[in-house]
Chains A and B, each alone.
Chain A
Amino acid sequence: MRESQIMFLQYMTGLLILVFGSFHFLLISVLSPSPQKVLYIYSGINASHILVGGTLYYTWVKAVYSSLIWGSVFELLLTFLVYHVFNGFRVILSEIIPGGRAEKAITYILFIAGLIVFIWGTRTVVIGLGGGF
């Protein structure tokens, strides 16, 4: 691939991370099915609180991860993040250690590291889709 193609994808994934990341945070903060999403119950005089509803509620998290739509959003977000992060590292490191075998080694190592993170993340998404948490 030409560097222009690689960098075009870098900028595009940056934008898409913004879009899909926003969905992700909307999911956590606003899109909860429960009106109690930010409700905390203060128990006793020591004011410790217990989460009783909201997007971080276990059953809701499980429901979200089981949804094919949200699962796809997470998988896409993961793909964009892995590309953007590891290519970003490659760019930074190739400037610090330019040229020769070191630069090639950096590219291969980061590619493999990115692949491992992607496979591991996909595994989590797939397990979530199967309701297996």
Chain B
Amino acid sequence: MEQLILKDFGEVVKTVTFRVRRYDPEKDDAPRYEEYRVPVQKGMTVLDGILYIKEHIDHTLSARYSCRMGICGSCGMIINGKERLACQTQILELGKDLIKVDPMGNYEVVKDLVPDLSKLFRNHQNVKPFIIRDEEEPKGEYLQTPGQRERYAMFTDCILCGLCLSACPTSASDELYLGPQALAQGFRYIADNRDLGFEERLNVLDSKHGVWRCHFSGACSEVCPKGVDPALAIQLLRQVMTTNVFVRFKQKGTETGPERKSVSGVS
């Protein structure tokens, strides 16, 4: 049967056991683990394994996924004890015959491997992740040199997968902590020369559960699938906040370029 199902995809290299945490808050009293035997081919990811289980063994298993190529950030989970994107984790590269899969930590569970990311999005929203300007309507392009963009470029790669918040030990104990993702995005916009929103973000970033609660364990940077370094952003943010104690941090805000009209002639 296994051979038949997978024959179009190449030879089955080995069979591994998936130990998946199952929990439906509406039905179950407590989480439990269930094991599934999954035939593995070269190039098969953990997400492929989960989808194999869902299609052929247990239809009730729930997981969130979308792009299958490490872009959307939907399939974050804890695989063999470490936060990873299931679509970017090759089963054979794990080098184990037993693959333990848990939903991300520090979130409520919707069902099985599906976390409730409301906290992540709420924190992200709280740091106002957009360019804040004085004028109501931009009159032209906001000018920026490549060097100015370089100051925050790395932090624009965040895909909001939420793995960093799952790995963060402070988030585990302090449910009001903003978390590495939101703090990194806070820095990303403060460091942007087009932005003028430092004062508006200060109440959130410089709060009791903001930037100062980081213990610098570095787990967030360790697990980020896009190579973003939120721990660095937090330290840079602290540098800005500390400087602001003595000298008020002032954003100049870049000048706008010449007024332009769109190709269609509508400004």
Contact = CB atoms under 8 A, between A and B. Distances in A.
B5 interface: no
Contacts of A99: 175-176, 209
B245 interface: yes
Given A95-B177, A98-B177, A103 B208 contact: yes
Contact of B173 (A3, A5, A96): A96
A95 B241 CA distance: 20
Kindly state the interface size class of chain A when it binds its partner: 10 to 19
Contacts of B212: 3-4, 7, 91
B210 interface: yes
A94 B242 contact: no
A2 interface: yes
B176 A5 contact: no
A8 interface: yes
B214 to A, nearest CB: 11
Contacts of B37: none
A94 B208 CA distance: 8
Given A4-B242, A8-B245, A95 B213 contact: yes
Nearest to B172: A95
B244 A4 contact: yes
Contacts of B211: 4
A110 B242 CA distance: 24
B208 A3 contact: yes
Contacts of B176: 98-99
A2 B242 contact: no
Given A2-B206, A3-B208, A91-B213, A8 B174 contact: no
Interface string B187-221: 00000000000000010001111111100000000
A2 B199 CA distance: 13
Nearest to A96: B173
Nearest to B237: A4
B209 A98 contact: yes
Interface of B: 170, 173-177, 202, 206-213, 241-242, 244-245
Interface of A: 2-5, 7-8, 91, 94-96, 98-99, 103
Given A4-B242, A4-B245, A96-B174, 19 more contacts: A3-B207, A3-B212, A4-B206, A4-B212, A4-B241, A4-B244, A5-B245, A7-B212, A8-B245, A95-B170, A95-B173, A95-B174, A95-B213, A96-B173, A98-B176, A98-B209, A99-B175, A99-B209, A103-B208
